[in-house]
Structure 1
């Protein structure tokens, strides 16, 4: 279930209430006239089944409520209510399959913002990965992949393509390109300093590296794993199972490949620089492609599920008896 907190201008409250009452899967409707102060208006509270949430939010936006009032949405971790159970049964489709598009756009927008924090995380992740590739330490590689924040912009590109949001696409591409450029430049300087201190050696980079050689030797599995990770990552975002993102992060080699390319370039090893760059591009392409196709598939199947809900009947009028 989702909880909505709405601030509505006094003259639009009845219109908003009627929309909520018409939406199948809503319950616990509360109207508090005149209680809102900034912006001034009425406070409307309600709960809605996740599978009906996108429809309701879209309707509220069509009323212009985000301009004249406020729309706040939060997940309900626990709701002990027979009426809530009935609302979830009434709503067509399954909550786990529903995509809250506005929530997805907002999440990817935040994750795709080029900020000092984002640059710090991607740079630190790349520097950790640089230590991992030189020392041939798989644990450091896994740690670097978990720290890297690059999936946010990649998901942002996919969401922008499906929802036709050019500004989000530009923001995501900028964060991705600038982030990796800064991270690789700093990591190249870091490698030079570490070499001067005698902590990095070219022989370590070019010697046998059974644990980390894969980051500069791309093959078909590089792309396949990136595609699978992209699918899993998008599903984790749209189903609110964010814990799965950790597994996604440590299954692709974007950050380690960028780190290996930066260190190899610092040593003038163009062969490893080229191989690592190809590995990086394959991962980025695979994730974006898989994410876009996954969102398109979710959009298609959700529309079909809405047309043919459980029991084979349409949404129909909203029953209110016993509410």
Structure 2
């Protein structure tokens, strides 16, 4: 009989996970598949789907167990302990953009499905996910990728037991008649300082992205051969998105605490009805969100 080799994680969740709806995804499960978009990282959560519209740089549309979570209204996410959802965002409550994540740095994904964990707070009525970067790579990482429709990506990353540094740049024209002209740049710097049984870490993250969006088009315009199925009506749709964060954390055997600050800017031009409401000038509109936020988190276990 042919030998069949099956491997799996030996991570013991007994006493950690309080429900079968909680789980842990390790590096071996995250690393292998190539990603069409960063948001696909969330599909490591069983039953989770991430789709895309209005351009590669925009936050995904999320579905959990078939339920539409819009852009993150009912699903919360954190990166290295910093919340990614934006309350009262200019494009929608709980707007969740996963594009600032550098996938190759993610080593663990922890998730829960359902509304029963109060610690996850706002936007977690359907579930939540926590992405964590790892450190101490076995060797420096250099990736240069190229593909169809003008896709180009370069990544350089290195780390040891004290430092983690990464820079990521992506360019993409897209499959549409209108050049998407995606310009996406990311950076990460992490510094770890162990002091006896306490580990302190300082992290800086940078994200800057711009793109043009083809968006939805009228079926009748395609049927009348006015545009192709990959064509466009309004050439001015698209967005600029930026996010900068500073994260200082400290942990030991019983306590985990952090202070963080985030600066975020977002500008989106959309046009759902084209010339229906304003035949002379068109129906294009702008959504803007600009904010700086601070936060703190402290958890302690009694032993």
Larger Cα-atom Rg: 1
Q: Which has the higher strand share?
A: 2
Instruction: Please indicate the TM-score interval, normalised by the length of the shorter structure.
Output: under 0.3
Which protein, 1 or 2, shows the higher relative CO under an 8 Å CA cutoff with sep ≥ 6?
1
Q: TM-score, normalised by structure 1?
A: 0.22
Q: TM-score, normalised by structure 2?
A: 0.23
